[in-house]
Amino acid sequence: MRWSEEITKQLAYCLTLLGVFISTFYVPVYVVDLLLLGLCIPLFWQAIKSAFKGIIGSDLFLSIATIVGLIGHEERAICIVLLIMALAEYIEYFIEERTTTAIESLVQLIPTDVRASIKGKEQRIPLASAHAGMIIIVYTGDRIPVDGSVTRGTAFVNESSLTGESTQKRKTIGDIVFAGTFIEEGSIEVEVEKVGTQTFFGKIQQLLENTQTGKSRIALLADRVAFILVPMLLLFIGLVWLYTGNIQLIVSLLVFGSPLELTLVTPLASLAGVTAAFKQGILVKGGKALERLAHIDTIIFDKTGTLTCGMPQIVRIDVIDAHYTQQDILLLAAIAEKHSGHVLARAILQKAHESGIVIPEPEHYSSKAGQGVEVIYKSKKYRLGSKHFIEQVVSVQEHDEKAEDSTTSVVYLTCQDYLCGRIYIADLVRDDASSTIRKLHESGLDVLLLSGDRHGAVEYTATTLGIKKYYSGLFPDEKLALIKKLQTHGHIVAMVGDGINDAPALKQADLGIALGGMGMEPAIEAADIVLLTNDLEAIYFVYTLAKKVLRTIKQNIFFGFILVHAVGMLLAFLGIISPVQAAIFHAVPDIAMVLNSLRLTTTKKVF
**Which residues carry out catalysis?**
302
Regarding beta strands 182-194 and 135-138, do their DSSP bridges make them parallel or antiparallel, or are they unpaired?
A: antiparallel
The DSSP symbol for 537 reads T
Short-list 260, 279, 274, 265, CA closest to 213: 274
Q: List the beta strands (DSSP E) in 235-379.
A: 282-284, 298-302, 313-319, 364-368, 372-377
- Residue among 542, 89, 534 nearest 276 (CA): 542
Alpha-carbon gap, residue 108 to 209, rounded angstroms: 15
Q: What are 401-407's contacts with CB under 8 Å, separation 24+? A: 404/454, 404/456, 405/456, 406/456, 406/457, 406/459, 406/460, 407/457, 407/460
CA torsion sign for 56, 59, 63, 65 is positive
How many other C-beta atoms can be found within 10 angstroms of the C-beta atom of residue 595?
10
E strands present in 216-351: 282-284, 298-302, 313-319
- Provide the β-strand partners of residue 150: 190
Cβ neighbors of 84 (< 8 A, separation 6 or more) are 260, 586, 587, 590, 591
Rounded Cα gap, residues 287 and 543, in angstroms: 13
Rounded-to-integer distance, Cα 447 and Cα 563, Å = 38
Closest CA to 136 of 171, 185, 177, 100: 177
Closest of 258, 247, 260, 259 to residue 68, by C-alpha: 247
